Amino acid sequence: MKFSEFPYKRPDYEKVMSEITALTEKFKAATSAKEQLSIMKELEQIEIETFTASTICNIRYTVDTRDKFYSDEHEYNEQMGPVLSEKLQDFNKALVASPFRKEIEAEYSPLMFKNIEISLKSFSPELIPLIQEENQLIQQYQKLCASAKIEFDGKICNLSQLGPYQQSPDREVRKAAMQAYGKFFDDHQAECDEIYDKLVKNRTEQAHKLGLPSYVEMAFLLRCRNCYAPEDIANFRRQVVEDIVPVNNEIKKNQAKRIGVDDFKVYDNTYFFADGNPLPHGTPDELMEAGRKMYTEMSPETAEFIKLMFDHDLFDVLSKEGKAMGGYCTGLPLYHVPFIFANWNGTAGDVDVLTHEAGHAFADFMADKCIEYMELRNPTMEVCESHSMSMEFLTAPWHHLFFKEDTDKYELFHAESALTFIPYGCQVDHFQESVYRHPEWTPAQRNEEWNRLEKLYRPHLDNTEVNFYNRGAGWQRQLHIYECPFYYIDYSLAQMISLQFWSLSMHDHKAAWEKYLSFVKMGGTKTFVDIVKDSGLSCPIEDGSLKSTVSDIKNWLDEHQI
């Protein structure tokens, strides 16, 4: 059955919540661990069916935000989500208080209980109206960005479709494309500021209702940070400034020389070579076929995975009018399949997205095969992003299928982009911490803080000729800041893991792949720190953890300059 044939039926939330309430009472009255474990399996099936239905709806809504049916359904599901969470929290309270907890821990994992206890701290029924309002504000931002119709080069482009122009060999075209991109946000400055201002105040009020000093602490609970604290992230950011930013400054100097400019501007930042950035060779269908070949050859596990993806048509990757920005992978547990959403625009990023989101999808596929309980399949997000970012590098032996004679250019481009991304991810995280520590800030003060952090994490940027970036509003194009606050640091942590896998693969690709496969198979059975250490990798939140990997990558970059 193709994804287009997957049925969608609005979940009967009243019935679902009634069933959860009944199971909660039945769980409390149970007289044995065996009986409680059986009830937990019943609840899991209800969650699987409900989550799958709402996810099918979300996919179809993000594919075309103009579709009234799925837009309305998505909004309804988002409104009912926190109401459903209340019922699930009631069950979780009974679960952590179970007299048979030791027996259940032996069957599942003590970590499951730790994660549940974290989630209990992040929710209260009195938050439901605020969470519903938050979801509506996020949907407003999604629709605003998806509505972009920008006249450029005699065409009407959305934001994603301006991407190739921002990498044009013609510097004036790059500049004009970036100005056109920024003008959309300038023209909607009041709306963007208003939506975010409401989100900050909403999320701060949620935190205060839980008795927390700010949303920073609440976000750590919501993101299930189960093995480190805000001060550990601050320590990681400090090391990035000390160990990576100076290397990135050299990378950007080399880039400026390669493209022949003395006055490196923001519109030069994503243009890496004088004769143009490496571009994938072939039509979208040909690139998809290259992906099929790559994963078929890579390993027996990836061959089985990619066959499943193509058999069920579990991709929507082309950019088109009305489509939501960005890319993601999500799971459909009722059907035991993942789904990949992207916005291809003809740049090398199309291949990055394919390998990145396929990393998520492959991890979902393996967890479904290897781990019995859904509660233990999904790790925290820095682990998930390690799956995806590492896959980008472990597919290197097959990159020639996409880039042909430009493969060497792509490898350098990809490596430089990976290292220069890490400080940006830290900048996004640091910005959010500043904002939520100061919820009273005006839009102007937020922009001022973004510009201050830009000088700390990306001092090579000169934004003066693009008003959107120069006024410090560039953060408003980063959908994560609106939609999933404090997620972005997961990418920077994960990039450090991916670079370690890449370094290993350069010496012994087979051994690196086997280590990665073991990493993926752990799913959510362990914390990020434990999975990293058990895999024999360096943990990026620890002092001195970045230096060796950064040195290895810098040596590679020095040897492969073009």
Residue with tokens 């040897």: 559
C-alpha to C-alpha distance for 502 and 512, rounded to whole angstroms: 8
Residues 6+ apart with CB under 8 A from 93: 120
Residues 6+ apart with CB under 8 A from 33: 100, 103, 104, 107
CA angle 289, 61, 468 (to 5 degrees): 90
For residue 117, the model assigns a pLDDT of 97
Amino acid code (one letter) for 355: T
For residue 223, the model assigns a pLDDT of 97
Amino acid code (one letter) for 527: T
C-alpha to C-alpha distance for 416 and 420, rounded to whole angstroms: 6
For residue 326, the model assigns a pLDDT of 87
For residue 345, the model assigns a pLDDT of 87
Encoded tokens for 290: 């290259």
Whether the predicted model's global pTM rises above the 0.85 cut? yes
Helix (H, G, I), strand (E, B) or coil at 341: strand
Chunked mean pLDDT (size 10), the chain, 562 residues: 97 97 98 98 97 98 96 96 94 97 96 96 95 96 94 95 94 97 97 98 98 97 96 97 97 96 96 94 96 98 98 95 92 97 92 94 96 94 97 97 96 96 98 98 98 97 97 97 97 98 95 97 97 96 94 94 84
Encoded tokens for 446: 């937020």
Pairing of strands 337-344, 328-332: antiparallel
Which residues sit opposite 151 in a β-bridge? 156
Angle between helices 489-507 and 509-521 (to 10 degrees): 140
Pairing of strands 150-152, 328-332: unpaired
- C-alpha torsion sign, points 31, 37, 40, 45: negative
Residues 6+ apart with CB under 8 A from 327: 340, 341, 342, 343, 353, 356, 357
Helix extents (H) in 522-546: 528-534
Helix extents (H) in 299-406: 300-311, 349-370, 381-394, 400-403
| CB 357 within 8 Å of CB 348 | no
For residue 335, the model assigns a pLDDT of 97
For residue 325, the model assigns a pLDDT of 85
Amino acid code (one letter) for 216: V
